[in-house]
Structures are given as structure tokens and as C-alpha cells.
Homo-oligomer: A and B are copies of this chain.
């Protein structure tokens, strides 16, 4: 299988590495920034290209892994390509690809950083396609990457993306706020790391509602008031503390 990547960011990097490891030939890497294209091409033994018109129309699969708002523009430039074309975006509709004959979505629900290797066996993949034969083809491709394959509509994918904002982006920001509270008082983030890991591990085999702890779920108003006082001078943190405590009380 000959694969071309349009994009060279975190998703493109990890997916190209995983497809190569699964036996695919990564043929071309395009990026607006030729240096970025060359760096990823180097990593996976592909050729960097700087013009979308240079993309080989004989590829078996073209993976569009650029920023959401650049997908439409890329599609325009690739018009008429015969390959199976997929994008990797959670928030983008399948139909943005409708100018192609065969198209689909391959959305990995995971957070990728260039500097951290990722085990694709533990990455859930959500697939969608414009017709049943393409869906079957995508299933085969996806199954070379991960055993965690789900079919999802564009609307479901948007919901998955939204839930990931809560469970990943916002969670990471709460780590940062915990860190800020510590640093303002001469304490170190290192002290919080074991707690952070255990909190995530606890819900791997249980539901978060069953393991909720802390002053809000106990309705321990005294501690809540003490905490709000400690956050004096941090109105943004007080607002977040109150909104989340209110939500926990309402849920439990």
C-alpha cells in the first residue's frame, strides 16, 4: 500500500510511523513548510513535496492531516485524484471530501506530541466512509493500526471531539492550575504527579461517578470556603472552583 500524507504535524507524524511499522510504503509527505515535510519524510523514508500538484495520483491512500480550517483548501487542490482520500479530524464533516470518488475519515481519539512515542494499539480509531466498499477498505487499513476500531458518523465524531476537550484539554489545564497554586507557595509539581496518574488509572476500570472524592461531593462547605479564601486574589481560579464544585454537587 502506497500512502501519501498531506500534513506533517503530530497526527501525521504518529500515523505515518504506525502505518510504516504496519508494512505500508509512505511515499510522499506534503507540508506548506518544506522543512517540516522533509523532517517527517526523513523519518519514514518518504519524499517531501512542496506543491500539492506534485502529489502522485497513483497513491493508494492520501491522508489529509492538516489543521481543520485548511482541509477544504487542500481538497480543492487535490480535485480529481483517484486514490482513497481520508481526513483525520474529529470536528470536520465527512462531506468536506465529497469532490473525491472514494473518501472517508480515520479519526484517532488521542493526544499526540512529537516528542512522545505512542502505542497505536491503544488508540481508538473512528471511521466513516462514503460507501460500503470504502468502509470495508478503511476497516482493513485501520485494523493494521489498532484493534480499537469504531464506526462513527460525523455528528458522533463531533461529540467525541467535544468530550475529549473536557477529558483531555480541560483536564490538562486543571493540572496547570494545581501547579500554579503550588508554585505560588514554593511547592513543586513533582509532588502532584503520582496523584494525577492514579486519578487517571482509577477510571480505567470504573466510572468516574463511582470514584468521585473531595469536599464538593461530601458537601463539606467549611473546606470549600477555606479553599476559596486561599484563592483570594485569583478571581479566575475562584470562578472555576465554584463552577466545578456546584456541578459536582448537582451530579452526586
Contact = CB atoms under 8 A, between A and B. Distances in A.
Interface stretch (A18-26, A43-51, A127-135, A223-231): A223-231
A194 to B, nearest CB: 5
B68 A223 contact: yes
A222 interface: yes
Contact of A207 (B155, B189, B191, B236): B189
A140 interface: no
A160 B176 contact: no
Interface string A184-197: 01110101111111
A211 interface: yes
Nearest to A177: B166
Residue of A162, A169, A198, A209 with most chain B CB atoms under a 10 A cut-off: A162
Interface string A164-205: 111111111111111101100111010111111111111110
Interface string A135-152: 000000000000010101
A123 B194 contact: yes
Contacts of A189: 203, 207-208
B171 A171 contact: yes
Interface of A: 68-69, 91, 109-111, 113, 116, 118, 122-124, 148, 150, 152, 155-156, 158-160, 162-179, 181-182, 185-187, 189, 191-204, 207-209, 211-217, 220, 222-223, 226-227, 230-231, 236-237, 239-241, 243-244, 246-248, 250-251
